[in-house]
Every structure is written in structure tokens, then in C-alpha cells.
Structure 1
């Protein structure tokens, strides 16, 4: 077991000591893929709908597309994707779904179509041509078994009488089933199982009691172990959460050159194991940058129609949508926060490390991305959200000596607000819209960021 840990922990480090910059390979699978957590994605091509407006032109790609009312296998989240990640969908996407609980159809709901500014940076391996796809933001609809969708192109609102823009090619509806929550209980690695098998044999000979058949005991695959091992400087292998520490305890465990760290108390963080991430979905490598200078705050734009007990399922659904539907290497965000203020580990690589995400196009290097689950363009976030963002940033930024109340600079990798190579001056705690032109994280959440910066700095003792 110790030998296994030594190899899997190759990238683990004391929080502020060693910051890997290269891609790190995880071990090969130790158990069959059939043991992976359940979950599925249905991909349904959209078809032209009957033209219903003058000027609709099938050849020009301006005929509305969609799917008429139909049955589907169980799903809880949906989105629309298309072939070219550089293409934008200038139009509207509406869906309605049938609940498995009531059998009733929902009202029509709009999907956020301007989602292209959540992505890996140009020129990175994650953004290689042919690997990724364009997409709307996903929408959480709850357990459903029926769907209808319509996509309509729009003209330039600034030009009266402008012809509708062509819709992107290869439009498909993605229906995501997150699978069941992982069972509570202990976890073991495949290596530990072999030792336990020997113990089982001995127990059988002596008639001793054993819990090897306890259904609450689950096996860590090699991918599970690798994703957990990068947090081994904080918690044991297979832990479902990183427990909270007091400020004094956090300071005692944080080493910085030059003296006492300015850092907030470590918050409780639900690990990927805790929310049931299927580690066989993501790419095996972990990719790091040099440090964390900026925390970008996002909303997931998945809607607010979820309970906090469903947050694990929402997160598993977004993860699957990012990887299987959008073609990203892993979940795009480094962290997620639900509306009750619970904090979750996002992209694999270690919660204390400078993991490169795919959350803020052009600014994924030397930053971390925090997604608040929900949509906050018209709805106000609960008070617990701002408190959680402040707690998380006070700790995470403190590991890298960053002052939450200050400003800093990042070089743009290219986007719709800052050209490639531009040095942008940004708040250390910034909204997604500060780096690119987007509504994210929604006006109501964005308006809370000044309060978050002040609270985060206070938690650091500034």
C-alpha cells in the first residue's frame, strides 16, 4: 500500500512548497471499467422544423431546428452542442421536459447560448482542433423522461431587417443522466483488496467475523486513487471531504518563505470522491500552472431549480457534459459552491495546487475558477454563497500569497475582451465578466464581489 501511495503521490506536495508545471500521468487502471459509477449521455441530432417565418432559408442554415415532443431515457440535465467550438449560436434555444415524478410537462425554458467564453485557452492541448465542440450552458431539469427543443436563429438586433445568422452545423441535443449517488462507507484500493483477500482466507479458517462482503465497502480504482492521492498532503487516500481547520491550524500547516502566512482558515471541501466523480471519464493527466494569482467567480447558468441534496448530481451532470459532450479533458471549474454554501473540489489535480482549468477563456493560466451552481442574472444568491466564496478564496489565495482585496495582472491568451498578449489588470477576486465579455457570473452575484473581497481579506487577517 505504501509503495502504491508513493508512486501515485508523485505530484503531491505541501500546499505552498512545490507547484508542478508539467502534465502528470496517473497510473494504469487496476480494476475493470465496468466498476465505474453509473451515468449516461443521450446525443440526439436536431432536425429542421417547418419554416414558420418569411426569409427562412434551409440552404443558408436559417431554418429553425429542433425535436418535437418525444420520449427519452431517464435524464436530469440537458444542453445543445455543435461541431465548431469557435462558432457562436446567434439565436435562441428553448426546451421543455416531462417530469418522471408528476408526468407533467414543464414550461418552455431558455438555455444560455453565449457559453463559448467558458473554455480552455487557445494553443493548449485541451483546445486542439477536432477535440472540442461548441455548446450552450447546460440546464438542470431534474429527473425527466420526455423532451422537446427548438432552436431559432436571430438577426443582428442593431441592424433593422437584418437576415438571421446561420445556425452552427451539427446541432445535437445532449441528455445527461448523472447516475446514482455513491454509497456511503469505507474505500479501499485494489492493492489493499489483495491483502484483505488474504485476511479473508485466514478469517475463514478460524471462523472469525469479516466485513469483506459489506456492501458499504467500495473499491478505489487506479483513477480514483490518482485523483485522491494529489490531496494526500491534506487527507487520507479515498477521503470524501477535506475537513475544515481553524485559522491557527491552517497557519501551522502552511509553509511560506519569509514568515507567517496571510491565509484564511481552511474550509470544508467535498472531494471528487465525495460527490461521486467517475474518474474514468476524464483524461488521465493533471495539468498545472505556476501559481494562483486570480480567482474567477462564475455561475453555472444551470438554473436554480435544485435542492442542496441534489448538488452532487448536478455536479456529476456538469462534469459529464463538459467531458463527453463538450470534449474537455475534465470538469472546467476548479471548485463549485452550491446555494447552501457547500464547497466542492472541481477539476482533478489537488485542491491546494495550481491546477489549470477551462473556465475563463484566455485567463486559465495562473488562476482558479469557482462556479456557483445556479443562475444569478435575475435571482439573488443566498447569503451562504458569498460567505463560502470568501472562505474558499481566503484559503486558496493565501496559499499563494495573494491579497483578496488587491489587484494584479494576467497576460491574456486571447478572448473577446483582451487580445492575445494583452496585460490585463484585474481584481484578485474577479468575476468572469472582468476577463471576457459575458453576463457571467450574473449581475446579482457579480454585485456581491466587493463584499466577498473584503470578507476574504479579513479572514486572512489583513
Structure 2
């Protein structure tokens, strides 16, 4: 099912109507700074060696076996970056091979060992028939890898030597490029700068300036009214009683009676403004699905070599990689959680709303995606991160009357595990691998989901 598009201004207007007094429409203040943070270097990969064995064969015998194709870049100095990934032209083409990078630390000037980049990333994407997928801008891409501030890079991509039967051997996708992402400095305007006001006090809802914010920033922030004031860097935590009152107010009294007793306490959420999103990068407007029936848990597969203070930079890098390198409309996940348990707003459109994400191909409709930053295939996720997933799902699923321990039915939009149109019974809190054949969210994080369901339900107050 396709999502429905809501204009940013429309969302801001709808949110404003939920307040006791009509808020003025935000406008870009004259002289407001427009300073997009970060940059992306996109460097084409080149052949690193012969793609075939040139040694003459024995007369009368077949030609010598073809060697795996290899592309990459020799070690070189580049502008500062912190995250890497490889993209290619055709989103429908899979990279069957191995991607490795070495990077030079900006701080120590030493080179890292070779690091593997996760090549199977197509399952973190919009559904096959979604407008986002058919935009013509989407590229094939590996998972991104966070390497920290670096100024040198070396890359090698080798096709797998033995292709499965029925597929052409040793061919890499065309148009491969290494993407080197610099998240930029975290310099969002202060929360007080973004406070909207009506200097005349006439309550007419006219357009007024929002100092220090662009129109895109103000509209993104307005989608979170009335949970936080316009321009807020975070949405504060609430206890269960206040969370219920907040949910009723935000829904303009339309929250169902069945859902009201089971809304978990709202966790603290760092907003897009709080982590420094450049709102000019994403597509304008917000796309919504009908409801939220399930939460899919992911790991970002971007590595564990980050400090919690770096999490906003990691998210800014993921955002740039998803939008500029991969061609998506916005960051794919609805929420991110760092290893210290801080929750971050993901795709724009409002933290309590059913924003259509691009996280679980085939099951983005009527779901939300939560990514724990890191790679948890062999490394256990920190307890703080697992607890944050439970707290977030207790609150957000509560808005839609979902019991975290229950099952729900989702209709597949197409993927490698379920055919398009098939109705599939899933846990309300599922792992990515439940909807698509993938390792995500990693064996170690996936193993924490049963306990997460129990904790989430308890936080909702369910018996």
C-alpha cells in the first residue's frame, strides 16, 4: 500500500490547531543562517587488476578460469570524513562479493586494518512499489560503516570467486563509487532561538519569523507539536500518567478508550533539530501510512566504534548517506537508539505519527523501524540500548493500542521472504529478519527481543 503525502505546512497547521491558542505559521527570519553541515565525497572505483587469467591454455582445452573481478582505489589522502559506503547505479543489482576499506585516522595519522563493509543492504529500503523506490534517484548501496574522523582511504571490492549456478560469474555492479561522508559540526540553533511568538498578541495565526531556523527546520519541528515547543532540541520524558494526558491532547481527544490505559511513559527523544539534521537535504513534505501495527528492530550495521557523544554525528552521516548517496527521500529509520540508550527522532513527520519509513522492504506500511546504532551479530547490545527500545515501543505502540507481546497481521509489499500481497502473522515487536531474509538486527540483538516484548508490555501497565 502506498503512503499518503502530507505537506509540511499542512502538518504544521494541523498541529497548531491542537493547541489552546492558534500558533502563527513559521516563516524564515530575515538574516537567519542557512549553514548546511557536512559534505560527501563520491569517488569512482577503478579496476585494480585483470578480470581474467591471461595465461595461455593447453591446446584443445577450454580457456583458463576467469579470475574474480576487483575494483577499488589505491591509498590516497582525501578531505576529512567519518563514514564510508559503496554505491552503484542499479538498485536492483546485488553486489555479490566482498567490500573492504582501510582508513587513516585524522587524530593519530595511522592506518587501520582492513575492515569489511556489509554488502547486503537492499532490505533496508522502501517497498518495491513505493513512490520513493520509483523516484529514479535510488541507487544500490552497501551498509554504511562509521570509521571516525579520517583523512585517508583505500578500497577494494572483489566479486565472489564462485557464483551460484545460473548467475554470471565474477561481475560487479556498474558505476561503483566510494562515498566518504563528513557529518559536519553539530551547530543547531538553541531551543530558545526556535520559539515561535506572536508579538502583536492578536491570536490570528499570521506568519511570523522563527529566528535561527529555516522554513524546513520550522516545519519539521512543527510536526512534533504539542509534545514540545517549536524549535525544541528534545522532547522531554514523561511519567505514565502525563504521557496518557499528552497523548489524549495530541490526538484532540480521538485516542481510543481501549488504548488510553496502556500508553507507556514517554522516553526522552532528541529531535532532528537536536541532532543537527540539515532539513534542506530531504524531500519536502511528509509521507504517512495508516497506523502502526508493528515495530521492526534493526541494527545499523555501521560498526560499534563510536562513543555516545558521537551518536548525533553518526546519525547525521546515516542521514546524508541515505538521502544523497542512496537516493532516499529521508533517513530510512523512524527512530535511532545509541549504545547509551538515548532515543533519537528519525524520519521527519512527527514522533507520535505513523510516518512511512524505509527500513523493512515489504513491510514498511503500518509499521515503524527502530535502529540500534552498531553491529550486533557477534557483539551483545548494551543493556541501556535494549531498555530504550522497550521504553520507546511501550510509548509509541501504546498510541495505536498495540500490545507488545501480541501478534499482528501485515500484508507483504514484496520481498525475498514473502510474496507481494501475502498476509503474514508477526510479533508486534519483530526483528528485521522476521520480514526479510537478512542477518539484521544481528543474532545478539535479535535474542533480546523476547525480553523486550515483556518489558515493553509491563511499561504499558498490561497484566
Structure 1 and Structure 2 fold alike (TM over 0.5): yes
Post-superposition Cα deviations, 1:187-234, rounded to whole Å, max 9, x if no partner, equal 435986999xxxxxxxxxxxxxxxxxxxxx960110000000010121
- Does the CA contact (< 8 Å) of 1:55 and 1:163 recur in 2? no
Alignment root-mean-square deviation, CA: 2.8
1:231 aligns with 2:224: yes
| 1:247 positional shift | 0.7
- Does the CA contact (< 8 Å) of 1:190 and 1:221 recur in 2? no
1:341 aligns with 2:341: yes
- Does the CA contact (< 8 Å) of 1:412 and 1:422 recur in 2? yes
Question: SS of 2:132's equivalent?
Answer: helix
| 1:166 positional shift | 1.2
Show the counterpart of 2:12. 9
Show the counterpart of 1:117. 123
Q: Distance in 2 between matches of 1:41 and 1:61?
A: 33
Show the counterpart of 1:173. 178
Q: Distance in 2 between matches of 1:237 and 1:72?
A: 39
Show the counterpart of 1:413. 413
After superposition, the Cα gap between the structure-2 partners of 1:284 and 1:6, relative to the gap in structure 1 and judged at 3 Å, is: closer
| 1:257 positional shift | 2.5
Show the counterpart of 2:41. 42
Q: Distance in 1 between matches of 2:432 and 2:196?
A: 43
Tell me which moved more, 177-186 or 70-79: 177-186
After superposition, the Cα gap between the structure-2 partners of 1:423 and 1:183, relative to the gap in structure 1 and judged at 3 Å, is: closer
Q: Distance in 1 between matches of 2:279 and 2:425?
A: 36
| 1:51 positional shift | 2.8
- Does the CA contact (< 8 Å) of 1:337 and 1:373 recur in 2? yes
| 1:29 positional shift | 6.4
Show the counterpart of 1:86. 92
Question: SS of 1:219's equivalent?
Answer: coil
- Does the CA contact (< 8 Å) of 1:300 and 1:372 recur in 2? yes
After superposition, the Cα gap between the structure-2 partners of 1:283 and 1:151, relative to the gap in structure 1 and judged at 3 Å, is: same
| 1:54 positional shift | 3.9
Q: After TM superposition, list the pairs within 5 Å mapping 1:289-368 onto structure 2.
A: 289-368=289-368
Show the counterpart of 1:205. none
Q: Distance in 1 between matches of 2:396 and 2:454?
A: 15
- Does the CA contact (< 8 Å) of 1:356 and 1:364 recur in 2? yes
Q: Distance in 2 between matches of 1:190 and 1:238?
A: 6
Q: After TM superposition, list the pairs within 5 Å mapping 1:146-295 onto structure 2.
A: 146-156=152-162, 164-182=169-187, 185-188=190-193, 219-255=212-248, 256-258=255-257, 260-295=260-295
- Does the CA contact (< 8 Å) of 1:288 and 1:355 recur in 2? yes
| 1:367 positional shift | 0.3
Q: Distance in 2 between matches of 1:36 and 1:447?
A: 42
Tell me which moved more, 46-55 or 362-371: 46-55
- Does the CA contact (< 8 Å) of 1:140 and 1:303 recur in 2? yes
After superposition, the Cα gap between the structure-2 partners of 1:29 and 1:45, relative to the gap in structure 1 and judged at 3 Å, is: farther
After superposition, the Cα gap between the structure-2 partners of 1:395 and 1:157, relative to the gap in structure 1 and judged at 3 Å, is: same
Give the TM-score of the pair, scaled to structure 2.
Answer: 0.86
Show the counterpart of 1:104. 110
- Does the CA contact (< 8 Å) of 2:123 and 2:438 recur in 1? yes
Post-superposition Cα deviations, 1:81-112, rounded to whole Å, max 9, x if no partner, equal 00011110000000000001000000000000
- Does the CA contact (< 8 Å) of 1:97 and 1:147 recur in 2? yes
Question: SS of 1:10's equivalent?
Answer: helix
- Does the CA contact (< 8 Å) of 2:189 and 2:212 recur in 1? no
After superposition, the Cα gap between the structure-2 partners of 1:383 and 1:329, relative to the gap in structure 1 and judged at 3 Å, is: same
- Does the CA contact (< 8 Å) of 2:77 and 2:152 recur in 1? yes
- Does the CA contact (< 8 Å) of 2:195 and 2:230 recur in 1? no
Question: SS of 1:94's equivalent?
Answer: strand
1:64 aligns with 2:70: yes
- Gap regions ≥5 residues in structure 2: 1-7, 19-24, 56-62, 201-209, 249-254
- Does the CA contact (< 8 Å) of 1:412 and 1:420 recur in 2? yes
Show the counterpart of 1:214. none
Question: SS of 1:386's equivalent?
Answer: helix
- Gap regions ≥5 residues in structure 1: 16-25, 196-216
Show the counterpart of 2:442. 442
Question: SS of 1:12's equivalent?
Answer: helix
1:432 aligns with 2:432: yes
